[in-house]
Amino acid sequence: MAFYQTTLTLPAYTRGIHIITPHIQQALNDLLPQGAKVGMINLFLQHTSASLTINENADPDVRLDTEDWLNQVAPADQPQYRHTLEGSDDLPAHFKSMMLGVSLNIPLINGRLGLGTWQGVYLCEHRNHAAGRRLVITVNL
């Protein structure tokens, strides 16, 4: 059993839901030894105001509707929030991160992410002005 690990720094994204599957697959191509076919991939986002999820990768309306729904569940600018030093979008970003999570496990199948036909990995950026995000990729072969 062998472990491989790298940290991928994603570009700064605007607030919203962004497909990052190609970034992850490229990092896996660079990380894994030639011939690696089967294993388990863990993705861990090292942040508390963004999250990871898997969902449909074809229709961009899914991403827009997801962002709209999250904003209804955890709206900004609420007078009852105490944690506002970093802006009115910060506490709602933490709530959204807690709901969706910061870690995913995906099988490695034939050297690639073992996603279904219509699945993509999303970075859910919950802050209005975020810097690049760090994603730790660990693979167990």
pLDDT digits (tens, 9 = 90+) for 67-115: 999 999 999 999 999 998 899 999 999 999 999 999 999 999 999 999 9
Q: Within 10 A of 45 (CB to CB), how many other CB atoms are there?
A: 21
How would residue 121 be classed by pLDDT, with cut points 50, 70 and 90? very high
pLDDT at residue 85 in the model: 87
**Domains and their CATH numbers in the chain:** 3-140 (2.60.120.460)
**Which pLDDT belongs to residue 16?**
96
4/132 Cα distance (integer angstroms): 23
Place of tokens 């730790």: 136
Q: Which amino acid is at 5?
A: Q
Q: Which residues of 58-88 are buried (b: 16+ CB within 10 A; e: fewer)?
A: eeeebbeebbeebeeebebeeeeeeeeeeee
pLDDT digits (tens, 9 = 90+) for 27-62: 999 999 999 999 999 999 999 999 999 999 999 999
**Average of pLDDT values for 14-29?**
97
